[in-house]
Amino acid sequence: MTVDPFARWHLTPVINASGTMTGIGASRVPDEVRATVDRILASFVDMDELQSRAGTIIARVTGAEAGCVASCSAAAMTQTVAACLTGANLAKIEAIPTVAGERRVLLPMGHMVNYGAPVDQAIRLAGAEVVPVGTAAACETWHLANALAEGAAAAMYVVSHHTVRENELPMDVFIGLCRDHDVPVIVDMASEYDLTGPIALGASAAIYSGHKFLSGVTSGIVAGTSDLIRATYLQHRGIGRTMKAGKESVVGAMAALEIWENRDHGAARRAEEARAALWMRELADIPGVALSLHADWTGNPITRVRIAITPQIAGFHAWELAGQLAARTPRIVVRDDLMERQELYLDPCNLTDEEAATVAAAIREEAERFRAQGDGCRESWSDTKRAREAAILAWSGKADAS
């Protein structure tokens, strides 16, 4: 019997115009991945053997010596940091987070961001001491060199649109300086297309989300040197037990990687650009709304549509428009990272053509409604910040599903 979870549990469907966001399920999982996961879910498998097979695929795709699969990218960060503290010493693995020895992990201050939780918390969970390097808008070679001279168990480099890009140390410079001091570098690439760059530059480990651009089920993929990957996988005998990857996560990552290898990336890009072009046409004449095509912040091959709102002309703030779209059924979720600057972004990567058209129509309808009713520009950004906190704390573990 096929069960529709939306009907059975009174869930509100979502049209995802925001990209690969964990809070709404990250990505659409293709049929081939779902079928493979379904097969393993009905079976039993030796997890050590399965992880070894996964490591072979990860190594092939990334150019690394080895690989393993964690439950998610955040777990992968914690486990990889723990591996730098313990190596393959089973007694130390069991002692985490109180293991003795060097515990300093260097992190550029501009990379100390929040991806839904703080990056530095993922490091601290392993028992490490986070050492910020430089300042938020200036990380220089001498900042890193001085921190390295004082000793470190590892260094982490984050590639994300959340990080401060101003005067950021380039990845190759960061890795090179760390290698000069024999300090392993862990690169967080959770939301990135580039599966080979960090390893080619000499990173000891690179971490990818298996459920974002790769479109697998929830998982974290770790590629790196054989010794570090072995120590990372062995963390399942310690702190990794609290965040273990199931057979479905490992198989889902394996299938997603193989599909990625054979994907027609050019065709996918053309389909996404066609959706962006539709938005540029359909939304071009809305008063107070300026549209432009926006290249990805970190260089991923994806083009989004930037919506810049002039409230005095449009009659509404960016956050008010985002709120109205999210209140519809189905909910329409847009990228709102920069809405305090009166900017919203439409991401085409997780949409069908029909959904893209629905998004365009909904934005026009809401803009016209604001102008007709004159009820926009009433909620300040401060009001929105307070309301967001209230909404987070309002979650109770139960809901009226009548």
Instruction: State mean pLDDT over 59-82.
Output: 97
Instruction: State mean pLDDT over 73-102.
Output: 95
Are both 303 and 225 inside the same structural domain?
A: no
Q: What angle do CA 151, 67, 105 make, to 5 degrees?
A: 20
Instruction: State mean pLDDT over 65-77.
Output: 96
Q: Give the domain-ending residue among 262, 292, 320.
A: 262
Residue 133 has pLDDT above 70, yes or no: yes
Are both 258 and 134 inside the same structural domain?
A: yes
Are both 130 and 269 inside the same structural domain?
A: no
Are both 319 and 202 inside the same structural domain?
A: no
The proportion of the chain whose per-residue pLDDT surpasses 90, expressed as a percent, equals: 82
- The pLDDT assigned to 24 comes to 84
> Containing domain of residue 325, as a range?
11-21+265-391
Residue 184 within a domain: yes
Are both 92 and 178 inside the same structural domain?
A: yes
- The pLDDT assigned to 288 comes to 96
Taking the whole predicted model, whether its pTM rises above 0.95 is answered as: no
- Domains identified in the chain, total number: 2
Are both 134 and 279 inside the same structural domain?
A: no
Are both 145 and 227 inside the same structural domain?
A: yes
118-127, 249-258, 390-399: least confidently modelled range: 390-399
Higher local confidence (pLDDT), 199 or 101: 199
Residue 6 within a domain: no
Higher local confidence (pLDDT), 133 or 163: 133
CATH of the domain at 377: 3.90.1150.180
Residue 1 within a domain: no
- The pLDDT assigned to 163 comes to 87
Instruction: State mean pLDDT over 189-213.
Output: 94
- The pLDDT assigned to 45 comes to 95
Q: Give the domain-ending residue among 207, 231, 262.
A: 262
pLDDT tens digits for range 301-324: 999 999 999 999 999 999 999 999
- Three-state SS letters, the chain: CCCCHHHHCCCCCEEEECCCCHHHCCCCCCHHHHHHHHHHHCCCCCHHHHHHHHHHHHHHHHCCCEEEEECCHHHHHHHHHHHHHHCCCHHHHHHCCCCCCCCEEEEEHHHCCECCCEHHHHHHCCCCEEEEECECCECCHHHHHHHHHCCCCEEEEECCCCCCCCCCCCHHHHHHHHHHCCCCEEEECCCCCCCCHHHHHCCCEEEEECCCCCCCCCCEEEEECHHHHHHHHHHHHCHHHHHCCCHHHHHHHHHHHHHHHHCCHHHHHHHHHHHHHHHHHHCCCCCCEEEEEEECCCCCCCEEEEEEECHHHHCCCHHHHHHHHHCCCCEEEEECCCHHHCEEEECCCCCCHHHHHHHHHHHHHHHHHHHHHCCCCCCCHHHHHHHHHHHHHCCCCCCCCC
Residue 27 within a domain: no
Are both 194 and 316 inside the same structural domain?
A: no
Are both 258 and 271 inside the same structural domain?
A: no
The proportion of the chain whose per-residue pLDDT surpasses 70, expressed as a percent, equals: 99
pLDDT bracket for residue 400 (50, 70, 90) = low
pLDDT tens digits for range 244-280: 999 999 999 999 999 999 998 999 999 999 999 999 9
Residue 28 within a domain: no
Residue 1 has pLDDT above 70, yes or no: no
Residue 211 within a domain: yes
CATH of the domain at 86: 3.40.640.10
- The pLDDT assigned to 80 comes to 98
Are both 237 and 163 inside the same structural domain?
A: yes
Residue 117 within a domain: yes
Residue 273 within a domain: yes
- The pLDDT assigned to 20 comes to 85
Q: Give the domain-ending residue among 212, 239, 262.
A: 262
Residue 401 has pLDDT above 70, yes or no: no
Residue 345 has pLDDT above 90, yes or no: yes
Are both 200 and 86 inside the same structural domain?
A: yes
Are both 247 and 273 inside the same structural domain?
A: no
